[in-house]
Structures are given as structure tokens and as C-alpha cells.
Amino acid sequence: MIAVGDVLVRALASGGGAMARVADEGDAGALLGPHVHLFRPDPKRLDAWFLAGFLGAEENIAGASTGSTVLSVSPGRLRVPLLPLEEQRRYGEAFRHVHALRAEAQRATRLGEETAAAGGRAHGRAVAAVEGGGGEGTRQGC
């Protein structure tokens, strides 16, 4: 079972989005999926966001991936620098901030796409109403 603070790494290096992240309260108690690697760092020795940041780095994933069509991540081939815990925490805070910015950017993109799609549907209904609803036969611009 997944616990808060676990580091989750996608097992397949394809598609968009973050390759690694730290599990939160919403993940706690869930079962680990078949295409996810789990790392459970000891918080007294290793900062979870530091670990997630380095495990999910593009160069690290590329070096730990095998395959030609589907790239599988081999967790034993991932590399993490050895740094004092206080320095890890500084890196971890930066990685956490970047993760939050990416999540908000993805959310804004999704909302923008949903709004554009809804606007298109509304535009179609407005045109149909103008064209189908007689009156004086004048068409208003949309």
C-alpha cells in the first residue's frame, strides 16, 4: 500500500507529465499499480522531494530506460547524488515548487481547453438559433 511520503516513479518512460512525484494524502492506502515503482525513503536520511526530483530527471530516466518501442525504467539503474540532509531539503523544496507550478500549468491548460470546447458548443447553438429562428431574417454576427 502507498503511504504519504512514498516516491512514485512511472515504469514506462513515455507520454507527458512528471516521471516521479511524492505521494500525498489522496494516494495513501491505494494499491500500487503495475506500471509504477515505489520508493519509501527514510525521512531521517533522505528527503522525499529531493529523491523524486532526481529520480524523475530526464537524463536519469533516459539512462535507466531500456527498450525500443516501449521504454521501461529499470529502478536499479537510477542514480541519486549523496548529499547532506539539509542540502537535500533545499533541493527538495525547489523540486516541490517546480512540481506545483507544472501541476497548475496543466490544470490551467485543461480548463482553457474545456472552456474553448464549451464556447464552441455555445457558438454552434447561437448560430443555429439565429439561422433557425426567423423573425426579420437578419443574421447577427458571432
Whether the pLDDT of residue 67 is over 60: the answer is: yes
What pTM did the predictor assign?
A: 0.76
- Judge whether 95 and 51 are in contact, CB under 8 Å: no
- Axis crossing angle, helix 85-132 with helix 48-55, rounded to the nearest 10: 70
Quick one: pLDDT at residue 16?
74
Whether the pLDDT of residue 72 is over 70: the answer is: yes
Quick one: pLDDT at residue 14?
74
Q: Enumerate helices (H) and strands (E) in the chain, giving the number of each.
A: 3, 5
**Listed residue (64, 61, 66) closest to 76, CA to CA:** 64
**Listed residue (81, 60, 79) closest to 71, CA to CA:** 60
pLDDT in tens, 74-120: 998 999 999 999 999 999 999 999 999 988 998 999 999 988 888 76
Quick one: pLDDT at residue 88?
97
Distances (CA, A) of 79 to 23, 60, 128, 142: 20, 7, 59, 56
Q: What is the mean pLDDT of residues 21-38?
A: 95
Quick one: pLDDT at residue 17?
78
